[in-house]
Amino acid sequence: MNSKTVDQSRVIMSNIMMPEHANPSGNVHGGEIMKLMDNTAGVVACRHARTNIVTARVDSLKFLHPIRVSNVITCYGELTFVGKSSMEISVTVTVEDLSKEEPAKIALTGFFTFVALDDQGHPLQVPALEVRTEEERRSWEAAQQRYLSYKQEQKGAETKNGD
């Protein structure tokens, strides 16, 4: 199976926030943004695996800046790590107030893990990730640590539940 680069699956998706995305005071619901982030990460994972994928885990969601009705958000998604069947995608969301001459601000960040599945719903091996830049290498190493930490937690939970 051939490897693929980060660039081959990178995604940028933008949306304008409407009243149906917000509470009565005009603040966009966090769940609305999380859904858009999940969609972005899902496109990245599907581009990489070219098969059915499902969300397995969401990590480290950080809300950094409020988002209001009429703001434009842009979700930037890219692979940070690939295991045998799982893929971690970093998603950064920026927010822009189009009525002001200000640069977009980072509003949210998070990591989404997807698993590739075959037609029977079993995990399916995906292409390896070809890391080309120093930044990609640093992201890979940090993601690999999260992956190994999660695996260790799972092992501990299985041991605890098996007692």
Q: What is the pLDDT of residues 1-59, one digit of tens each?
A: 799 999 999 999 999 999 999 999 999 999 999 999 999 999 999 999 999 999 999 99
Distance CA 151, CA 162 (A): 16
Residue 47 pLDDT: 98
**Element containing residue 93 per DSSP (H, E):** strand 86-96
Residues 29 and 17: beta-carbon distance below 8 Å: no
Domain boundaries, the chain: 4-162
- Whether residue 5 contacts residue 130, with contact meaning beta carbons closer than 8 Å, is answered with yes
Measured over the CA atoms of residue 8, residue 9, residue 10 and residue 11, the dihedral's sign is positive
Count CA atoms closer than 13 A to 38's CA, side-chain side. Answer: 13
Which residue, chain included where needed, has tokens 């926030």? 17
Bigger pLDDT: 162 or 134?
A: 134
Average pLDDT estimate for 64-72:
97
Q: Report the CATH architecture of 4-162.
A: Roll (3.10)
The encoded tokens of residue 24 equal: 């009565």
- What pLDDT was estimated at residue 79? 98
Structure tokens at 98: 């189009």
